[in-house]
Amino acid sequence: MTLFTPSSYRLQLLQQLHRQLTQLIESDTLPEFRENPLLEKLELLLPELEKGEESALFSAQQLVSHLIANFPQLTPLVSRDLLWFLGGDCLHWMPDEEVAVYQQLEELYHRSLESNTAFDWVATRQQLTSQPNGLH
**Can you tell me the mean pLDDT for 93-103?**
95
**Can you tell me the mean pLDDT for 99-120?**
94
134 strand-pairing partners: 79
CA 21-134-37 angle, to 5 degrees, is 25
Report CA dihedral (53, 47, 107, 67) to the nearest 10 degrees. 100
Phi, psi dihedrals of residue 117, rounded to the nearest 5°: -115, 155
pTM: 0.87
Phi, psi dihedrals of residue 29, rounded to the nearest 5°: -75, -25
**Can you tell me the mean pLDDT for 114-135?**
81
Query: pLDDT tens across 11-53, in order?
Result: 999 999 999 999 988 888 877 777 788 889 999 999 999 998 8
Which residue blocks in the chain are alpha helix, DSSP H?
6-26, 38-50, 54-70, 80-86, 96-114, 121-128
Q: What is the overall mean pLDDT for the chain?
A: 89
